[in-house]
């Protein structure tokens, strides 16, 4: 055999190799656009929907992602899992329309826009405009941003070849969506669940707005930890409480990691059933919980500790003390949230800067005092040396003042988990401001509260996969506070409230529905462009039993709070599924476990009030 013959010999025909039409190279850069073009040209989604028009229905609803950036691996997992549901339902012979949606309002988008305005030097020009023009300038820029990223995300999701009605998505900034969302709000308002109050809420100093629990991230933060002695005002009253005679005036020792809130202290809370001692610690006579005396003394490195007398917390209630650097006195009150897990057993109470403090303040008739402005600086109600100071700068200043005045027992730096603005990544504070709330513990329709009804739906009417998620949802419902609905930003759906000539707030169920009709027709920009008379042109006070006497729209001023975006996304069961007649209630909500606190819960609360049942099965 010659060399040439050996080279020509092949064994290919002697092997039983599989045959395939697939090319050796994927050529995705060329094939992906070709596939998309084919799907669109053939109108595949519309044809499949038409083919299943008479089939049994499976209703599946899309939770809206924020339109503020490119998609990431989280979007990929979310959309692929949902695509598996859509395709499997269609293959099983059911009709399963899937309308993709986008959350277009809110802080994530406005925050991005404000950063861009600062970067390109346009922020000064916008800041010079009058308030309504400034709000509209921010809204226009935010709308452009949302539109840009919604289109980009749509293209990226379509490139995954997910099966959805991308030609008819829902956008929370569309007029019809805004109007339908306000109608859900009107239902809640009509059940007397919506109220306005001065309450401490999570406040973002960076973005100058209230935040919901779902908008927080917890990160480790180092703060000063201080033990402060508040001198008793009446030495003899303390002596009687402990059954001893006193030659010197003792103090009440508190512990806090927020020295900046001490200026707002109005009370000290004790537990009426705990045992408290009058102790001599390195020569200083102070009141502290018996079980915490040793740990506090050890923490401070005290050399001598002597217990002088002992009594229960109930005997301390009503005693008074002098504030260490403000010209006022406070009193000892009782509270069942006082624990012996740390601190001193005496809790510094500032009703304007904490949820427990606020409730104690209401019960005790204290002012809801908050001397902190929206940017985190003190107002002029504080001592002169603090006025205009940042609260974060005040931490060290207050600590040094207490050290110099002899009121500081001990201090050290303390690392703890602290809430941060999820968008700005900056620490938030509790700050008392007037906000709109939904009362979750208010009974309505002569029945249980919203919390109780929501818990009942979760316990018996909704299926969870996996089943342990039911308990997760119930736990979050059990501990959730009233829902803070309002935000102090420009880019969002306005809460349609007005202020009257005497400062009273005007909003009724009928007036909300009248504004909802305006938003359906002209979008929520109308709130910033039109007068109260124009916005309420179709409102008839004569047929509204809640209208104030002598109602005159020309005397009203618009208020400018906007809705928490979770209320908007939590109303999509109405603004999308019912509005488009896609089927209700919805068979399936499918999202990550974080939505037990977010979208799942927001949707549940709004639907339980408006329809009497959960929006999903």
Note whether residue 131 is domain-resident.
yes
- The DSSP result for 347-414, as a single string, is EEE-TTS-HHHHHHHHHHT------B-TTSBB-TTS-GGGTT-BHHHHHHHHHHHHHHHT-EEEEEEE
Q: What is the pLDDT of residue 13?
A: 74
Instruction: Give CA–CA dist 544/250, Å, rounded.
Output: 61
**Are both 148 and 223 inside the same structural domain?**
no
Q: Is there a contact between 502 and 509 (Cβ–Cβ < 8 Å)? A: no
Same domain? 251 vs 286: yes
Spatial CA neighbour of 602 closest among 403, 379, 440, 397:
440
Distance between CA atoms of residues 598 and 480, nearest Å: 11
For residues 543 and 565, membership in a common domain is answered with no
From 315, 271, 306, select the one nearest 289 (Cα to Cα): 271
611 and 503 part of one domain: no
Domain membership of residue 35 (yes or no) is no
Q: How many domains does the chain have?
A: 3
510 lies in the same domain as 463: no
Pair 395, 509 in one domain: no
Q: What is the DSSP letter of 490?
A: S
* Structure confidence at residue 8 (pLDDT): 64
For residue 462, the domain's CATH number is 3.40.50.620
SS3 call for 578:
helix
Instruction: Please report, for the domain that includes residue 372, its CATH number.
Output: 3.90.740.10
Specify the pLDDT at position 414: 87
Q: Is 277 helix (H, G, I), strand (E, B) or coil?
A: strand
Nearest to 368 by CA among 380, 386, 354: 354
User: How far is 535 from 533, CA to CA, in rounded Å?
Assistant: 6
- 19 within some domain: no
Domain endpoint, select from 389, 421, 453:
421
Residue 89 lies in a domain: yes
Q: Which domain, by its residues, includes 174?
A: 54-193+445-495+561-617
Has residue 438 been placed in a domain?
Answer: no
- Domain boundary at 388, 421, 454, which? 421
| Domain termination site, one of 365, 389, 421 | 421
Q: Which of 545, 593, 601, 542 is nearest to 570 (CA)?
A: 601
Task: Give the pLDDT score at 23.
Answer: 77
pLDDT of residue 436: 96
CATH number of residue 506's parent domain: 1.10.10
| pLDDT score for 48 | 92
What are the DSSP E strand ranges found in 290-364? 305-312, 320-322, 329-334, 347-349
Q: Which residues of the chain have pLDDT under 50?
A: 1
Cis link prior to 585 (omega < 30° from 0)? yes
Run of H or E residues at 486: strand 486-487
In this structure, are 137 and 158 located in the same domain?
Answer: yes
Q: What is the pLDDT of residues 295-306, one digit of tens each?
A: 999 999 999 999
pLDDT of residue 3: 54
Tell whether 137 is covered by a domain: yes
Q: What is the pTM of this model?
A: 0.85
Q: Are residues 407 and 502 in the same domain?
A: no
pLDDT in tens, 557-595: 999 999 999 999 999 999 999 999 999 999 999 999 989
471 and 579: one domain? yes
Q: How far is CA 592 from CA 34, 79, 504, 616, in A?
A: 32, 12, 42, 16
Q: Is 187 a member of any domain?
A: yes
Burial class of 590 by CB neighbour count within 10 A (0 to 12, 13 to 18, 19+):
middle
Longest dimension (CA), the chain: 124
Q: In this structure, are 371 and 456 located in the same domain?
A: no
**Would you say residue 206 lies in a domain?**
no
Same domain, 277 and 321: yes
Shared-domain flag, residues 240 and 304: yes
């Amino acid at each position: 055999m010659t060399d040439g013959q050996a080279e020509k010999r092949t064994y290919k025909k002697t092997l039983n190799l599989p045959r395939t039409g697939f090319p050796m190279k994927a050529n995705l850069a060329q094939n992906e656009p070709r596939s998309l073009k084919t799907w669109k040209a053939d109108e595949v989604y519309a044809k499949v929907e038409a083919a299943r028009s008479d089939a049994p229905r499976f209703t599946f609803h899309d939770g809206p992602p924020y339109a503020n950036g490119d998609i990431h691996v989280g979007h990929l997992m979310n959309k692929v899992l949902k695509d598996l549901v859509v395709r499997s339902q269609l293959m099983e012979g059911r009709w399963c329309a899937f309308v993709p949606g986008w959350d277009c309002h809110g802080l994530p988008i406005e925050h991005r826009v404000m950063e861009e305005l600062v970067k390109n030097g346009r922020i000064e020009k916008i800041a010079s405009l009058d308030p309504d023009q400034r709000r509209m300038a921010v809204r226009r820029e935010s709308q452009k941003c949302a539109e840009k990223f919604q289109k980009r995300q749509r293209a990226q999701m379509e490139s995954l070849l997910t099966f959805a009605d991308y030609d008819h998505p829902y956008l929370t900034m569309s007029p019809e969506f805004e109007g339908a969302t306000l109608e859900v709000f009107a239902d809640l308002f009509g059940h007397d669940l919506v109220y306005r109050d001065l309450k401490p809420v999570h406040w973002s100093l960076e973005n100058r707005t209230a935040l919901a629990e779902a908008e927080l991230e917890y990160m480790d933060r180092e703060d000063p930890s201080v033990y402060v002695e508040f001198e008793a005002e009446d030495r003899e009253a303390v002596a009687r409480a402990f059954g001893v005679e006193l030659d010197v005036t003792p103090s009440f020792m508190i512990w806090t990691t927020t020295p900046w809130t001490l200026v707002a202290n109005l009370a000290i809370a004790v537990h009426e059933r705990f045992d408290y001692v009058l102790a001599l610690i390195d020569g200083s006579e102070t009141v502290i919980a018996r079980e915490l005396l040793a740990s506090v003394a050890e923490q401070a490195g005290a050399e001598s500790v002597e217990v002088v007398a002992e009594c229960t917390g109930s005997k301390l209630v009503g005693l008074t003390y002098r504030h260490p650097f403000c010209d006022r006195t406070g009193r000892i009150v009782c509270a069942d949230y006082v624990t012996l897990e740390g601190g001193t057993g005496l809790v510094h109470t500032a009703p304007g800067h904490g949820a427990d403090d606020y409730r104690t303040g209401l019960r005790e008739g204290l002012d809801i005092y908050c001397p902190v402005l929206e940017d985190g600086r003190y107002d002029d109600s504080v001592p002169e040396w603090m006025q205009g100071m940042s609260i974060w700068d005040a931490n060290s200043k207050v600590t040094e003042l207490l050290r110099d005045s002899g009121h500081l027992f001990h201090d050290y730096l303390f690392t703890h988990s602290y809430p941060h603005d999820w968008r700005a990544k900056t620490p938030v504070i509790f700050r008392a401001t007037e906000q709109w709330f939904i009362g979750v513990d208010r009974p309505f329709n002569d029945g249980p509260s919203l919390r109780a009804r929501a818990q009942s739906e979760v316990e018996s009417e909704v299926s969870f996969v996996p089943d342990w998620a039911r308990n997760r949802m119930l736990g979050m419902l059990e501990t959730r506070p009233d829902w803070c609905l309002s935000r102090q930003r420009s880019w969002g759906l306005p809460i349609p409230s007005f202020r009257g000539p005497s400062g009273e707030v005007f909003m009724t169920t009928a007036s909300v529905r009248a504004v909802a009709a305006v938003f359906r027709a002209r979008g929520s920009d109308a709130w910033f462009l039109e007068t109260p008379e124009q916005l309420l042109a179709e409102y008839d006070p004569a047929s509204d039993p809640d209208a104030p006497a002598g109602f005159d729209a020309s005397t009203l001023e618009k208020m400018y709070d906007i809705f928490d975006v979770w209320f908007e996304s939590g109303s999509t069961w109405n603004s999308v599924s019912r509005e488009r007649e896609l089927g209700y209630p919805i068979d399936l909500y499918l999202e990550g476990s974080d939505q037990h606190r977010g979208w799942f819960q927001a949707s549940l609360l709004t639907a339980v009030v408006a329809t009497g049942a959960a929006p999903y099965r």
